[in-house]
């Protein structure tokens, strides 16, 4: 971004160029325009030359830098720095919209909470770099496995959330579809990961809460998914449990 001194120098240079052009024009006019005419010509030349130059040389660069900075701030505020997935803040914003959409359109979505099984032993045995590789790799797998309109987030640690906007309008079909998606994600997480000649293996468990939009609160949906996840782990891990 240009400094204040650079901005002042640029504006001064633009005005000097415009004024020089105006004086040059007045010098070579074949007739004397008079005091008022000279003033009008001077103003017109200043406007025609300085306004475009100030916009392209001063204002536009400033706006571009400002917009880039705002976009970067928004990105940092809404994404997880390690995996580049959306974070809890963005999830809650999107979840509120999903609840309203399900209520308005009378269809069912789902929030799937996924926790990695065996992640701590990988971290302890191979180090945090290996743990980071596992998290980044699984994040990419989840993104590739889901449709573009579905939201994949990392809550922190080894917890992920997938928000599915639409499953079905039928309750039974929605349950089957949610279970199928969760099992697919568990399968993706369970595939071995190569890192520095080591094969890193973790598993995953999932808790599912259907989103019907019938005045459900976002905090309640998250809590219900967490309850379902706890039951899935109690059942022996590697399972997907639907909150009922």
Structural domain spans, the chain: 4-78, 88-242
In the structure encoding, which two tokens stand for residue 168, read together?
Answer: 């079905």
Q: What is the pLDDT of residues 26-50, one digit of tens each?
A: 777 777 677 777 778 778 877 888 8
Distance between CA 122 and CA 239 in Å, rounded? 20
3-state secondary structure of 106: coil
88-242 CATH, one of 3.40.50.300, 3.40.50.620, 3.30.70.270, 3.40.630.10 = 3.30.70.270
In the structure encoding, which two tokens stand for residue 131, read together?
Answer: 């743990």
3-state secondary structure of 212: coil
The answer, yes or no, to whether residue 201 has pLDDT greater than 90, is yes
In the structure encoding, which two tokens stand for residue 76, read together?
Answer: 């940092």
Q: Which residues are catalytic?
A: 158
Positive or negative torsion for Cα 25, 27, 32, 35: positive
Cβ 200 vs Cβ 130: under 8 Å:
yes
> Nearest 5°: phi and psi at 146?
-105, 160
**What pLDDT score was predicted for residue 19?**
81
Q: What is the pLDDT of residues 152-181, one digit of tens each?
A: 999 889 999 999 999 999 999 999 999 999
């Amino acid at each position: 971004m240009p400094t204040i001194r650079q901005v002042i120098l640029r504006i001064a240079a633009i005005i000097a160029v415009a004024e020089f052009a105006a004086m040059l024009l007045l010098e070579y006019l074949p007739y004397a325009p008079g005091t008022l005419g000279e003033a009008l010509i001077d103003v017109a030349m200043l406007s025609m030359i300085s306004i475009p130059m100030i916009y392209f040389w001063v204002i536009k660069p400033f706006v571009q830098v400002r917009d880039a900075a705002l976009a970067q701030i928004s990105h940092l505020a809404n994404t997880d720095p390690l995996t580049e997935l959306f974070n809890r803040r963005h999830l809650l914003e999107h979840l509120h919209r999903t609840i309203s959409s399900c209520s308005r359109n009378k269809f069912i979505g789902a929030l799937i909470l996924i926790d990695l099984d065996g992640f701590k032993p990988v971290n302890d045995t191979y180090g945090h770099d290996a743990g980071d590789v596992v998290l980044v790799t699984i994040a990419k797998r989840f993104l590739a496995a889901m449709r573009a309109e579905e939201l994949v987030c990392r809550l922190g640690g080894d917890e992920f959330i997938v928000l599915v906007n639409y499953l079905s309008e039928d309750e039974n079909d929605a349950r089957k579809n949610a279970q199928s998606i969760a099992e697919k994600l568990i399968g993706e997480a369970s595939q071995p990961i190569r890192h520095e000649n080591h094969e890193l293996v973790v598993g995953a468990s999932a808790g599912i809460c259907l989103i019907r939009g019938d005045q459900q609160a976002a905090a309640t949906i998250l809590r219900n998914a967490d309850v379902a996840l706890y039951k899935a782990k109690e059942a022996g891990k590697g399972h997907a449990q639907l909150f009922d």
